[in-house]
Amino acid sequence: MTVANLYHDALVARARSGHGKGRLTPHDASARLDNPLCGDRVTLDLVMREGRIAAIGHEVKGCLLCEAAAATIAESLTGRTPAEARAMIAAVTCLMKEGVSPDVFESLEIFTPVHRAKSRRDCVLLPFGALEKALSPF
């Protein structure tokens, strides 16, 4: 597994897209998670309206994989229900652990090579863990 395989053009573009970049004030829920092994930190804010995620904001202090995952969350889940967000969390967890993902979320495909780099899986999963924590009241 080479670094080039992990950091391919589509992943870099997603990380640099800026989807959801920045904290939301006010927000209905927020969660922060740290990965002490690599130093990544993610804070994720949610605004909820009528049972749906109206807005997602994030602040990432971490690697490109972490940034791409947070941008994927903001791009893919705005307007979706908490149940749909939890389905995406399950799909990305399956992708990282087993190397397969349900076809429901095409936006996760860019993370497929990360499954083969065990030490980097947590970088992708950290923003999804923050999302799961932020969704806990809903």
Per-residue pLDDT reduced to its tens digit, 25-84: 999 999 999 998 889 999 999 999 999 999 999 999 999 999 999 999 999 999 999 999
Q: Interior CA angle at 53 toward 110 and 87, to 5°?
A: 50
pLDDT for res 107: 93
Token representation of residue 42: 């993610």
Token representation of residue 71: 């941008």
Token representation of residue 95: 């992708």
Whole-angstrom distance, CA of residue 36 vs CA of residue 103: 32
- Band of residue 6 on the pLDDT scale cut at 50, 70, 90: confident
For the chain, domains (ranges, CATH) are 3-135 (3.90.1010.10)
Q: Give per-residue pLDDT as tens, 77-128.
A: 999 999 999 999 999 999 999 988 767 789 999 999 999 999 999 999 999 9
Buried b (16+ CB within 10 A) or exposed e, 42-63: bbbbbbbeeebbebbbbbbebb
The pTM for the full model equals 0.95
pLDDT for res 47: 98
Percent share of the chain, pLDDT over 90: 87
